[in-house]
Structure 1
Amino acid sequence: MHFALLVTGPCYGTQSAADAFRFARAVLQQGHVISQIFFYQEGVYNASQLVQPAGDETHLQQAWVNLAVANGLTLDVCVAAALRRGVSDKCSAARAGLEQWNLAAPFRLSGLGSLAQAALSADRVVQF
């Protein structure tokens, strides 16, 4: 089965992003395919490389990165939601006259069109 995941919860403060991560890992372990993981609304905070969890907490942002790298996954972040919440890549920071950016690789800014395309091609879209 081909899955697309929509993550709308932040990496800390709610359980939804952690649930999405565990679901993604389980889906892959069962031999299914994840065509896209799209971070939207508060979910864009999962892409910030400035996240600093306590030593006894799971570093969820790094877990997403490791999962994506190990499995060749696409981590798309809604550009409008991200910029509104202070998450930007190098190009968008430069356009805004900012000296810093905080989007962690391999996360990438993307439009809602990529979510629509993933929804059209996936067997299931699961929102967290």
Structure 2
Amino acid sequence: MSQESCHFTLVITGAPYSSQAPQTALGFARAVVASGHAIDRVFLYGEGVHLASALSCPPSDEINWTSAWGEFLEQHSVPGIACIASALRRGLIDPAEQQRQELPASNLAAPFSIAGLGEWVEGVMQSSRVIYFHGGD
């Protein structure tokens, strides 16, 4: 008996180092892919956008969750999208917003991108399941 493949959109609302949301979501994503299912996209919202910061510098004895997620996203060709409203409020800027807002720098880590809530809506409509990883506040 064959098992039908599921497609997941993951929504992360908790920040790395102040919640377990990014860590738990990455473990879940790895298990999903290992089981033959697919991750359609990872959407960062609220405090979760901190996961996409290129300026995160954890101590050498801690995992760099931005790098770990970046490697997963690239390896599996999964889009990692930070909500633009959440990102701008928290100082997460891509080169386009840097220019538009006339800011001195950008700090969005590759391979993440910034987009609107339409990406979340598309994930809800296209994926078999949408799983939320909250910060627990």
**Is TM > 0.5 for Structure 1 vs Structure 2?**
yes
Instruction: Give 1:1-128 correspondences, 5 Å limit.
Output: 1-128=6-133
The SS at the match of 2:63 is coil
Equivalent position amino acid for 2:128 in 1: D
Equivalent position amino acid for 1:99 in 2: P
Residue-by-residue CA offset, 1:53-107 (whole Å, 9 max, x unaligned): 1111111000010001111010011001000000010110111111211001110
Which residue number corresponds to residue 3 of structure 2? none
The SS at the match of 1:31 is coil
The SS at the match of 2:19 is coil
Per the TM alignment, residue 26 of structure 1 is displaced from its structure 2 partner at its CA by 0.9
% of aligned pairs identical?
Answer: 40
Unaligned runs of 5+ residues in structure 2 are 1-5
The SS at the match of 1:52 is coil
- Measured on the aligned residues, the alpha-carbon RMSD in Å equals 0.7
Structure having the higher helix fraction is 1
Cα distance between partner residues in 1 of 2:58 and 2:80? 20
